[in-house]
Copies of this chain bind each other. A is one copy, B any other.
Amino acid sequence: MAVAKKNLFTEEENRIADLAKAIAHPARVSILLYLIKKNSCVCGDIVDELPLSQSTVSQHLKELKRVGILQGEIEGTKTCYCINPEVWMEMGGLFKGLTEKFTGCC
């Protein structure tokens, strides 16, 4: 979608859609579940966890970083990935807000 078209929707609609897009691929969900399971910042071995090439995983990590869900910190030759708690909370709040707005119909 062209950048200009973003103006056709509200900030909230765009942000929800953008965050959803970030988790709209099983590889990225898998990455997040792995980080959560490890319960810490993870350096390195994410590629080994996924059935995808190193460059593809790097691209997925980039997408998660783009929306702010992940932050990467360089530690020597490796990079440590962490979930950004603020953005994670923002996402949780937006999804919960959307979910709970609907209370039933008909």
- Interface residues of chain A, those whose CB is within 8 Å of chain B, are 1, 6, 8-10, 13-14, 16-18, 20-21, 23-30, 32-33, 35-36, 39-41, 51-52, 82-83, 85, 88, 91-92, 95-96, 98-106
Contact = CB atoms under 8 A, between A and B. Distances in A.
A-B residue pairs, 10 tightest by C-beta: A92-B99, A9-B26, A21-B24, A20-B24, A13-B26, A8-B51, A17-B26, A95-B95, A20-B20, A13-B29
A9 B36 contact: no
A33 B10 CA distance: 11
A23 B22 CA distance: 11
13 contacts: A8-B26, A9-B30, A10-B26, A10-B30, A16-B29, A20-B23, A32-B102, A33-B101, A39-B103, A40-B106, A41-B105, A83-B102, A92-B95
